[in-house]
């Protein structure tokens, strides 16, 4: 058992038989009345996001979540196979849990998997990944203006918007939370 004062981003709570992961929280102390904690939570199973307010200091039940690093091996039908690099155990995660993260995962990439009572809850990717552009329309001479973008397909098959001057074969840094282009990577 914990209290609302222990809430942090990433904390997993047990509420009404469901597991909820804290995305954002804010402790509020108004001039009048009691303090409270305003949270934004995601249902770990369904992905639904809700706002909930707790009175300060009340007891809440937290779930024990084991977060471990795994290496992504391969996709097996709808499922994804990961390996724990410390003991080489393999873990199969359903595609519904991987979700949009599959757009940014390359083989042998390290990810963090949160596990509760033996079943995977969600996958955390690094904030950004480097991916190679496998297809994009060629840029025209003079397309060096700022602000213009075009679609480009990266090596995972995902389509992102990139500046007009980028060409096929260029490695780019991509934000895994939004899918936004962050910059070109020179190797």
pLDDT at 103: 92
Same fold, 66-124 and 128-184: yes
Per-residue model confidence (pLDDT) at position 141: 58
Strands (E), 4-95: 12-15, 18-28, 36-43, 49-55, 59-62, 66-76, 79-84, 90-93
pLDDT of 143 strictly over 60: no
**Least-confidence region, from 20-24, 90-94, 171-175:** 20-24
Q: Which fold has domain 2-62?
A: SH3 type barrels. (2.30.30)
Per cent of the chain over pLDDT 90 is 42
The SS3 call for residue 35 is coil
Domain ranges of the chain: 2-62, 66-124, 128-184
CATH H-level, domain 66-124: superfamily = Nucleic acid-binding proteins (2.40.50.140)
Buried b (16+ CB within 10 A) or exposed e, 54-63: beeeeebeeb
Q: Decide: 180 and 158 in contact? Cβ < 8 Å.
A: no
> In this model, does residue 84 exceed pLDDT 60?
yes
Q: How far apart are CA 76 and CA 69, in angstroms?
A: 20
DSSP 8-state class, residue 82: E
Q: Given a cut of 80, is residue 122 above it in pLDDT?
A: yes
What CATH number was assigned to the domain covering residues 128-184?
2.40.50.140
Which pLDDT score is estimated for 23? Answer: 86
- pLDDT tens string 32-69: 888 999 999 988 877 788 999 999 888 999 888 888 99
* pTM confidence score: 0.73
Could you count the other beta carbons within 10 Å of the beta carbon of residue 15?
A: 15
Report the pLDDT value the prediction gives residue 6, as an integer from 0 to 100.
Answer: 84
Residue with tokens 């602000």: 147
- The whole-chain average pLDDT of the chain stands at 88
Q: Which whole number is the average pLDDT over 133-158?
A: 80
Higher-confidence residue: 23 or 140? 23
């Amino acid at each position: 058992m914990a209290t609302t004062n222990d809430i942090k981003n990433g904390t997993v709570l047990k509420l009404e038989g469901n597991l909820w992961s804290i995305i954002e929280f804010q402790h509020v102390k108004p001039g009048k009345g009691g303090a409270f904690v305003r949270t934004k939570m995601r249902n770990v199973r369904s992905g639904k996001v809700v706002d909930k307010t707790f009175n300060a200091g009340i007891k809440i039940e937290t779930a024990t979540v084991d977060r471990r690093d795994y290496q992504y091996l391969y996709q097996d039908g709808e499922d994804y196979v990961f390996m724990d690099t410390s003991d080489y155990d393999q873990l199969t995660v359903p595609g519904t849990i991987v979700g949009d993260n599959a757009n940014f995962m390359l083989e042998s990439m390290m990810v963090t998997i949160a596990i509760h009572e033996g079943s995977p809850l969600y996958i955390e990717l690094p904030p950004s990944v480097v991916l190679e552009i496998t297809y994009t329309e060629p840029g025209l001479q003079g397309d060096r203006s700022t602000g213009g973008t075009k679609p480009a397909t990266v090596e995972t098959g995902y389509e992102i918007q990139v500046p007009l001057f980028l060409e096929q074969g260029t490695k780019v840094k991509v934000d895994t939370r939004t899918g936004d282009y962050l910059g070109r990577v020179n190797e």
